[in-house]
Amino acid sequence: MNRLLSRSLWELGFFLGVAFFVVLAAFPFYWMVITAFKENSDLYDVSNIPFWFNDPPTLEHIKYLFQETLFARWLWNSLVIGLCVTAITLVTAVPAGYALARMKSRKGEALGITIFLTYLVPPTLLFLPLSRIIAELGLQNSMWSLVLVYPTFTIPFCSWLLMGFFKALPVEIEEAAIVDGCSLFGAFVKMAIPLSLPGILTVVIFTFTLTLQEFVYALTFVSASDQKPITLGVATDLIRGDIFYWGEIMAGALIASVPVAIAYNLFLDRFISGITGGAVK
């Protein structure tokens, strides 16, 4: 009986612990949702219980976002930036990852590590000189500056990730293709690339989410409202003086976060094995 009691106490503690973590992690997200759909009169009344809807939920904030602000434009900007950066990343990182995986010398390994380490060079160290370079190129205040700069972190990360994928691909398949008359380059294009499509898909997802998450470069290079990507627009443009439009801000944050959260969640394990580089085998 005593054993049963201590066992169920242990179980209770376990699930309380799990509940604590879920609430800790998800509460700000829940708050985003509830704020986004609340009437202003409900939102700014401290005598109401804030945890749920006291008035019926409303789509007012989302409507306002699309009709009265540049929100749709920011969504579009983010999409364009994401697509361009993904294209640049694929064109450079796929061949680089492949070559790094096939280099047998110590030099190749060192090159791979060096490229990956540039991923760790922080934006806050580079933003000053980059802002001068962008000014020289006449790209200041334009979303195209971000298309130029974002590959500086997506290329290193994705080259490293793809290197892992290509390493896992048996080199014998390419050798067989070469024996059958393929050139070295042909073996890469016709054999290695089609076989690593899952890896390339992962890279596409990551490049996209990394561009959506970025904030520092966007803040530094773009101040024109109609050029902002969505994260920057929502975080800085829905504030007039000291007044925060909380309903609209949270609605915008929600719309921007949901796709990123879902995509990232699905690919999280690959992300982790990418950055740890299989430190534990």
Partner 1 sequence: MAVIAEPIAKPASRFQFFFDRREVLDMFLVAPAVIYVLLLVGLPLLLAVYYSVSTYTVYDPTWTFVGLRNFIDIIQNPTFIETLVNTFIFTFGSQLLGLVLGKFGAFLLLRPFPGRKIVRALIVLPFVIPVALATIAWRWLFDSLYSVFNWTFIALGILDRADVPNWLGTPWLAMLCVIIINAWRFFPFAIVIFLAGITAVPQDVIDAATVDGAGFWRRNYQIILPMILPIMVIGLIFGIVFTFTDLSIVFLLTQGGPVGATSVLGFAGFQTGIVSGDVAHGAAISLFMLPVLLVVVVFMLRFIRRREI
Least distance to partner 1 from the beta carbon of 207, Å? 13
If one asks whether residue 235 binds partner 1 (CB under 8 A), the answer comes out as yes
Least distance to partner 1 from the beta carbon of 95, Å? 4
Give the one residue of 7, 137, 186, 201 binding partner 1; rule: CB under 8 A. 186
If one asks whether residue 8 binds partner 1 (CB under 8 A), the answer comes out as no
Nearest to 139 by CA among 71, 230, 229, 223: 223
Site for partner 1 in 14-53 (CB under 8 A): 14-15, 17-18, 21-22, 24-26, 28-29, 31-32, 35, 43-44, 46, 49-51
If one asks whether residue 243 binds partner 1 (CB under 8 A), the answer comes out as no
What are the residues whose beta carbons fall under 8 Å from the beta carbon of 255, sequence distance 6 or more?
Answer: 62, 65, 75
Site for partner 1 in 125-184 (CB under 8 A): 125-133, 148-149, 151-152, 155-156, 159, 179, 181-184
Say how many residues make up the chain. Answer: 281
Site for partner 1 in 53-82 (CB under 8 A): none
Run of H or E including 240: strand 239-240
If one asks whether residue 103 binds partner 1 (CB under 8 A), the answer comes out as yes
Alpha helices, H only, the chain: 2-36, 40-43, 60-68, 71-102, 106-117, 123-136, 143-149, 151-168, 171-179, 184-187, 193-195, 197-213, 216-221, 230-236, 246-276
> In Å, how far are 17, 20, 23, 122, 179 from 10, measured between CA atoms?
10, 15, 20, 44, 63
Give the one residue of 113, 137, 173, 224 binding partner 1; rule: CB under 8 A. 113
Q: How many residues bind partner 1 (CB under 8 A)?
A: 100
If one asks whether residue 6 binds partner 1 (CB under 8 A), the answer comes out as no
In DSSP notation, 200-231 reads HHHHHHHHHHHHHH--HHHHHH--SGGG--HH
If one asks whether residue 10 binds partner 1 (CB under 8 A), the answer comes out as no
Give the one residue of 9, 72, 201, 216 binding partner 1; rule: CB under 8 A. 216
5 vs 280 by CB, closer to partner 1 = 280
Site for partner 1 in 249-278 (CB under 8 A): 249-250, 253, 256-257, 260-261, 264-265, 268-269, 272-273, 275-278
70: which 2 tokens?
């540049």
